[in-house]
Chains A and B, each alone.
Chain A
Amino acid sequence: MQSKPGANYTHAGSIHASDKNMALQNARDTYTRRGEGTSIWVVPTSAIVASNPDDNEMFFDPSNDKIYRLPTFYVMPEGAKAI
């Protein structure tokens, strides 16, 4: 779901449908009732490639212990006002 033109799409939820058109309509009827969005993408569950929770250590842990990956690790140079 895109809240306004140019914004990133965020996941709104899941719906059941038997074809593409029905999926789009069901998504519209279920998730845009109070002006939440201006554009919808629907994707069949079977087309989603998901990470395996068993791989979480391998996938996600390595980024947690390297503080130099975060911008706050670096000292702001004096006089660099535009950053």
Chain B
Amino acid sequence: MALIHSYRLSEWCSNGPILEEDLALTNFALDMLGRAQALLKYAGEVEGIGHTEDDLAYRRGERRFLNPLIAELPNGDFAQSMARMLYIGAFENLLYTELLKSKDETLAAIAGKAIKEIRYHLSHAADWVIRLGDGTAESHDKMQRAINDMWTYTGDMFDMSSEETKLANDGIAVNTISLLPSWNAQIGKVLAEATLTMPTDGYMQSGSLSGVHTEHLGHILSEMQYLQRAYPDASW
């Protein structure tokens, strides 16, 4: 999720509403890229067949990406990007807070570094959602629409595979399903302050656990992986 969300945020580079926000979003993208690098490096080590973080980022097929769908959705307007960052940020804040207690020392160490960044990203997104929701009639409408549009993609962040359940039971991974009530409460609090209406639970998109994505991930990967696909082992 960090890698794909990072990619989307990096697309704001030179397109931010103001220079300060442009810098903020691209810095968040770099924070997430650093986290993705640490996670993928460790994943390669655990896998044990010599894959580096670059192999896993730039030479992995689409069906082997298991990121939640919400990360790959197009940026849309600024309100949509902030709604997404709020939903993901609140989730990651809970997830990484739990990961700090992981029995796996590497995961706990990565979480220790990431949690500081995540808290900042979350507070940045929450501030914007409140500012726009409780702003003008137009900004309120756009923010509400963004909150509603992204809602159906929030469910699969909490889905768990049998492998994850096993790792969670062993105290290594996190039981994400158990994070849902806290996530709902946090999102509800922000939306109430933003004078926005919390969407009601309805149909949730899913598929990321089995690598079934929206049509958008393929487009991301075709650009992100182009260089290593066209010129394998290129370096500079």
Chain A residues in the interface with B (C-beta under 8 A): 15-19, 21-22, 25-26, 29-30, 33
Chain B residues in the interface with A (C-beta under 8 A): 18-21, 23-24, 27, 124, 127, 131
- In the bound complex, residues from chain A placing their C-beta under 8 Å from that of B18 are 16
List 25 contacting pairs A-B, 8 Å CB cutoff, sorted by A.
A15-B20, A16-B18, A16-B19, A16-B20, A17-B20, A18-B131, A19-B131, A21-B127, A22-B127, A22-B131, A25-B24, A25-B124, A25-B127, A26-B20, A26-B21, A26-B24, A29-B20, A29-B23, A29-B24, A30-B19, A30-B20, A30-B23, A30-B24, A33-B23, A33-B27
- In the bound complex, residues from chain B placing their C-beta under 8 Å from that of A21 are 127
* Bound Cα distance A19, B24 (Å): 16
- In the bound complex, residues from chain A placing their C-beta under 8 Å from that of B20 are 15-17, 26, 29-30
- In the bound complex, residues from chain B placing their C-beta under 8 Å from that of A16 are 18-20
* Bound Cα distance A26, B20 (Å): 6
- In the bound complex, residues from chain A placing their C-beta under 8 Å from that of B21 are 26
* Bound Cα distance A42, B124 (Å): 17
- In the bound complex, residues from chain A placing their C-beta under 8 Å from that of B124 are 25
Chain B interface, >50% SS class: helix
Listed residue (B20, B24, B124) with the most chain A CB atoms within 10 angstroms of its CB = B20
* Bound Cα distance A18, B21 (Å): 12
- In the bound complex, residues from chain A placing their C-beta under 8 Å from that of B19 are 16, 30
6 interchain residue pairs of minimum CB distance: A29-B24, A26-B20, A15-B20, A29-B23, A30-B23, A30-B20
> Shortest CB–CB separation between residue A74 and chain B, in angstroms?
49
B130: nearest residue on chain A (CB-CB)?
A21
> Shortest CB–CB separation between residue B210 and chain A, in angstroms?
37
- In the bound complex, residues from chain B placing their C-beta under 8 Å from that of A33 are 23, 27
B124: nearest residue on chain A (CB-CB)?
A25
> Shortest CB–CB separation between residue B173 and chain A, in angstroms?
32
> Shortest CB–CB separation between residue B43 and chain A, in angstroms?
28
* Bound Cα distance A33, B21 (Å): 13
* Bound Cα distance A17, B27 (Å): 18
